[in-house]
Structure 1
Amino acid sequence: MKIVLIAFVFAVIIEASYGQEDFRSVDGDVLSDEAPGSKDYDHEAFLGEDLAEEYDEMVPEESQKRLGEIFTKIDVDTDGNVDTKELEKWIANAQENYIGRDTEKRLEKLDLDENGSVSWEEFFNVTYGELKDDDWDTKENDFSYRDMLNKDKNRWKVADTDDDDSCSLDELNALCHPQHFDRMRNLVFEETLTELDENKDGFIDIEEYISDVYKPENENESEPEWVEAEREQFKSDRDKNSDGKLDEQEIRDWVTPDSSDFALDEAQHLIAESDSNQDGVLTKKEVVGNFDIFVGSQATDWGKMFEGHDEF
């Protein structure tokens, strides 16, 4: 997975089998944290991250077969073609479905008493229960568990809309995927500004933007190429008024973008990449013939792909 670039940390530590997760605004992109334009990005945008990973375990023949079945689902008007609107809707739904599945998985791990919701006590015990006293004040690379706990408390207050000290599935969804919920957007903005605005002038300049993800070990260290790419993205995409810093609206556009814009952009990109006859729509032959643009493939374990996934 590509290093998730520049955002706030909301780490949830859950037993060894579940691992440690970072919830970020994924470099300002709500479809994938992979590099835009890469095949991994396209696959995750088209299927959702979890199903994209399952597809990667399929042999090419099965990937093509399943993709043909998906084409029928996308072609809502059954005219034999998929247009931009149909593909945009599919991508938006794929992301919404992925987020739902992801939150359900987290609920299963956090809901210790299996009552269908997560209390703050359950969340705290699962997330922080294994920490020792010395761990709380240990700080490494500007990270500390105490700071993380304070962020979690603030997010919990906003996500827990009925203030019953417990998160339902919907509230847990907002807690884990805040950039997708209107009520969480101000908090996401405030967290980002607090963490990155080192000189506290109310803006994020390019060095603050970069220092969040890259700090050289010594003065003579050359910046990696990916850092230069981040600088260019700051200038070309983030800093819309070209004043060398991000103001409130530019920060909000970055960390809480409109997901529909990304779905439309990705739909247009996928059609441009696979529309062999350049008529603006995709046939099943064009989609399946360019299957590696839409989905991955590799091994033979594909049987569970559609089990329990009614959306497919």
Structure 2
Amino acid sequence: MILNDLKEKEHYKNEEHNKEYDHEAFLGDDAKTFDQLTPEESQKRLSIIVEKIDKNNDGEITHEELKEWIRYTQKKYLINDVHKQWNTHNPEGKNKLMWDEYRKTVYGFSHEYKSLDHEAIELDNEEDSGSYSYKTMLDRDKRRWTVADIDGDGALTREEFAAFLHPEDSNRMKDIVIIETMEDIDKNKDGKISLKEYIGDMYHNDIETDEELPEWVLNEKEHFSAYRDKNGDGFMDADEVKEWILPQGFDHAEAEARHLVHESDTNADQKLSKEEILNKYDLFVGSQATDFGEALARHDEF
């Protein structure tokens, strides 16, 4: 259970790379039950959410209204997650959370690295990822904690704790995002990411065999050569990884809103009616039929 919790803490990497629209970001609290609903039930609930998005109640969803809704739900998720985690790790409601208190709550160790030497437990189903032992994850958390700790007192305020939990949303934490991404994908630890490592993060079969590769894998191989590997040396270095996962000036909400309007606007008036959105409900909410989980493992926006 603890390893699953640790694994979930790396969620931001998938969020930054996501090729499909994240229906949880769009739906917020309503997302949890959507995958279990029939198409009719999904459309009925989605229609209620559409009314929330339509701020001026004119029956049409503009690009701006959709973008603002996405930003709202993203912010709401972050606020709720920080609130939940802060209360879990700081039940006494103190102004600051000490590292030792957090470590004991998450890892259950009474002393640094106690009981680590005799049992290195690897994360589930990650045969090629290297050994992610308790000690590895503890070291990684401590490093991130130290970066988030602005005044260096070993404890985090609520604001600092938010940066620790969601480094991708904190300017001062950008470097740690790059470092952790490199560590996740750079399997041979040579300080750079090869095409095989880049594809292997998403596709676990051999890309060098004669078997026919999925179209999206072929597209990713092309993207690697054309856009990721800027200097053409066959690898992605730290600067190239930064441009990939944290592109300067990229607005996720803008890109998602543009994509959704483009895919759903059947009459090409640059607005979405409720009918147009409901006709594309699977695009907006995701479902087992769209293989939503698989889409989350891919890197580029449409």
Q: TM-score range by the shorter chain?
A: 0.7 to 0.9
Q: TM-score, with normalisation over the residues of structure 1?
A: 0.71
In structure 2, what is the Cα distance between the partners aligned to 1:158 and 1:177?
Answer: 12
3-state DSSP of counterpart to 1:122? helix
Q: Percent identity?
A: 39
Which residue matches 1:113?
Answer: 92
In structure 2, what is the Cα distance between the partners aligned to 1:102 and 1:223?
Answer: 42
**Offset, 1:68:** 2.7
**Offset, 1:212:** 5.7
Asked whether the equivalents of residues 216 and 223 of structure 1 are also in contact (C-alpha less than 8 Å), the reply is no
Cα separation, partners in 2 of 1:136 and 1:96, compared to 1, 3 Å: farther
In structure 1, what is the Cα distance between the partners aligned to 2:49 and 2:25?
Answer: 14
Which residue matches 1:22?
Answer: 9
More helix by share: 2
Q: In the alignment, does 2:178 pair up with 1:189?
A: yes
In structure 1, what is the Cα distance between the partners aligned to 2:118 and 2:242?
Answer: 31
Asked whether the equivalents of residues 90 and 97 of structure 2 are also in contact (C-alpha less than 8 Å), the reply is yes
Q: In the alignment, does 2:48 pair up with 1:69?
A: yes
Asked whether the equivalents of residues 27 and 49 of structure 2 are also in contact (C-alpha less than 8 Å), the reply is no
In structure 1, what is the Cα distance between the partners aligned to 2:103 and 2:212?
Answer: 39
Q: In the alignment, does 2:234 pair up with 1:244?
A: yes
3-state DSSP of counterpart to 2:8? strand
RMSD, aligned α-carbons = 3.8
Structure 2 counterpart of 1:121, which letter?
Answer: D
Cα separation, partners in 2 of 1:285 and 1:220, compared to 1, 3 Å: closer
Which residue matches 2:278?
Answer: 288
Q: Deviations 1:144-178 (Å, cap 9, x if unpaired)?
A: 22222221111111112243433233222211211
**Offset, 1:256:** 2.8
Q: In the alignment, does 2:63 pair up with 1:81?
A: no
Asked whether the equivalents of residues 82 and 165 of structure 2 are also in contact (C-alpha less than 8 Å), the reply is yes
Asked whether the equivalents of residues 25 and 77 of structure 2 are also in contact (C-alpha less than 8 Å), the reply is no
In structure 1, what is the Cα distance between the partners aligned to 2:138 and 2:161?
Answer: 16
Find 2:152's aligned residue among 141, 163, 174.
163
In structure 2, what is the Cα distance between the partners aligned to 1:124 and 1:224?
Answer: 43
Cα separation, partners in 2 of 1:257 and 1:101, compared to 1, 3 Å: farther
Residues 1-312 of structure 1 aligned to structure 2 (within 5 Å): 13=2, 21-27=8-14, 29-30=15-16, 33=18, 36-37=19-20, 41-48=21-28, 51-115=30-94, 117-129=96-108, 133-134=115-116, 138=120, 140=122, 141-193=130-182, 196=186, 198=188, 200=190, 203-210=192-199, 225=214, 230-257=220-247, 260-296=250-286
**Offset, 1:183:** 0.6
**Offset, 1:243:** 4.0
In structure 1, what is the Cα distance between the partners aligned to 2:218 and 2:167?
Answer: 29
In structure 2, what is the Cα distance between the partners aligned to 1:230 and 1:288?
Answer: 31
Which residue matches 1:303?
Answer: none
| Structure 2 segments unaligned to the other structure (5+ residues) | 123-129, 289-302
Cα separation, partners in 2 of 1:111 and 1:229, compared to 1, 3 Å: farther
Cα separation, partners in 2 of 1:81 and 1:236, compared to 1, 3 Å: farther
Which residue matches 1:306?
Answer: none
Q: Deviations 1:121-165 (Å, cap 9, x if unpaired)?
A: 221101211686145762643322222222111111111224343
Cα separation, partners in 2 of 1:229 and 1:144, compared to 1, 3 Å: farther
In structure 2, what is the Cα distance between the partners aligned to 1:216 and 1:132?
Answer: 37
Q: Deviations 1:49-88 (Å, cap 9, x if unpaired)?
A: x642232244544433433332233233444322222212
Structure 2 counterpart of 1:90, which letter?
Answer: W
Asked whether the equivalents of residues 64 and 288 of structure 1 are also in contact (C-alpha less than 8 Å), the reply is yes
3-state DSSP of counterpart to 1:282? strand
